[in-house]
Structure 1
């Protein structure tokens, strides 16, 4: 029998082609009754930090929070797609072993990032070094936008 903290990374996670729709459905579901500004903006990543911290401080265990964390990870990935020029990709066997997730995003410079795992780390470890807002600020490989 496995340890309690072991988890199957693929359970319930759509493949890369389904992540955009998954993120959109999550946003629709969580904003239907709340006025959460999940608008795919870079500024909204601070709200993601706040939401994940609230789950942790509220005493949710990882399994109970799993679906919400997956939705928030899909949302963070979709922010990278929309704002940084990333694309969703199905991770290969080695990447899955490294990241513990079946999907990630590839930046325009070819680097692969793990937004689902980053949200999970924020939940499990907390602290400013796991911030999703900081993740954006230190993110390598973004498309550089021309300022008019």
Structure 2
């Protein structure tokens, strides 16, 4: 029974692990922190997998666990010294995919997202993933109306950061 559960978890996790990487990218600024957060999220997913009832899609449940873990660790963190700029982490892979203008815009967007609070980061992240408001509200544990209101506020904050 345990082996069957492990195999099911590995199958579900492997097909959705990009979710964890994206959450890590939003909440960390260097590769060591990214790897640590990825590992912590994976542990939390495995520890709580037996609680996954299947009421929602696995990916929705995974977003929720990943975001809650990232937010909890981010809040506990007292680090004030950053050892690597986010642009070095985010753009190593993507630099060949975009022209210079697009790369600079993407870099600016990620830097602006890093200035948002925890919940706003999660909202923007899910919005950029093209998640419907229903799924965003389920993932964050808020009403759909509240998700829309918070999203508009987060977008306004991003606009102010990007266009002071």
Structure showing greater radius of gyration is 2
Higher relative contact order (CA 8 A, sep 6+): 1
Select the structure that is richer in helix.
Answer: 2
Same fold per superposition (TM over 0.5):
no
TM-score w.r.t. length of structure 2: 0.30
